[in-house]
Structure 1
Amino acid sequence: MWIVADAGYDVMRLAFLLRDLPVEILGRLRSDRVMRRPTPPRVYNPTGGRPPKHGGEFIFKDTRTWGAPDVETKSETTRYGTAHAQSWDRLHPELQQRAAWRDHTGKLPVIEGTVIRLQVDHLPSGGDPKPLWLWWSRPTAAPAETDLAWQASLRRFDIEHFFRMIKQTLGWTAPRLRDAEAAERWTWLIVAQCREVRGLEPVSRCRGA
């Protein structure tokens, strides 16, 4: 099972809390994030000192820190033109003992995942297509898996905008309904409105009536 989230969610925290379940977390990240590479192999140091816990920095806004991607794909889409995806394996955030991790006991975990950067030619709205950054709780990803991940994220946008439309434009949540049957009838009326707007078949056929 996948959980696909927007940038407002702490996807690394979700991945940690759900680590014992058959769940994968995929979420959008802000473009100012900094991740860390895997911990380098421990090398004997005659002068002593604590071994590093994190590898080098991966700074989203600094291409010099990226290095070669582990996966790179290009796909032609009908809505976005060419979709250019790059992914880097086993990147993790350097967690701090604050916010969601304030009450964490013991050492802070290293939560590795795949970072995906998606750049498209254009947006359906005509706006400026800024890069989309994603973090996936799967530590490594093959080319087909990388494409599946960014496609799932874009699909989340479609679903989210649909629910926003039926709430704000069609008034799905406006009535204060008292029972489940009334809520179901109202929901089917909203579905009928959607199909009427799009010029599709009557909603009665969808219900098998």
Structure 2
Amino acid sequence: MHHAKPLPSYLVKRYHGWKATSYSENQAWYRRLATEGQRPRAMVISCCDSRVHVTSIFGADQGEFFIHRNIANLVPPYEPDGERHGTSATIEYAVTALKVAHLIVLGHSQCGGVQGCIDMCKGEAPQLEAKESFVGRWMDILKPKFDLVSDVEDPAEQARQFERQAVVASLENLMTFPFVAEAVQNGSISLHGLWTDIGEGGLEYYDPSGKKFLPV
């Protein structure tokens, strides 16, 4: 491999700053995490979007969250013979090995992946429809939910509603995993659906009884 390069200087400076401050002040905690292993209480499935900072939102320390990020915070359905195993493997490890108590799906405003799915559903994104588009094939997970928002005329509101549907779709798909369904039924794990407004700092949770999102 001849294409890998050294880190850019600004990241090197930030690393040395962290090592001299945060790490130096908490060496015992980091070493304890290294020797005793991780015992996170919750797994968070969030979007890859750089504006979604899970640990900052909840003020979490190292070792608290087991985090998985992907395009549009989606969970595929249980497909042991399928090809989309990255997210599924992470969920399996969190539930069966780490025994997390909470499984959280976190969606967000202005999600590019969700907008791409809207464009696909409207026939406005031929590049995503191409068989070789990894993003397009991933967003196929969400396409069945588009009928629920197809009549919303305002594009911004349609996107916001579809972002929430991405969270609901993931919660529904989580329950297709036998080990997740069993853990939910015996009370050893609870599922949570959240949506955050990046600009306003708002946070909403999904209420299944009313099938709607409410402010936290």
Q: TM-score range by the shorter chain?
A: under 0.3
Tell me which of the two structures has the higher relative contact order, counting C-alpha pairs closer than 8 angstroms and 6 or more residues apart.
2
Structure with a larger share of its residues in helix: 2
Q: Scaled by the length of structure 1, what TM-score is found?
A: 0.23
- Higher Rg of the two aligned structures: 1
Structure with a larger share of its residues in strand: 1
Q: Scaled by the length of structure 2, what TM-score is found?
A: 0.23
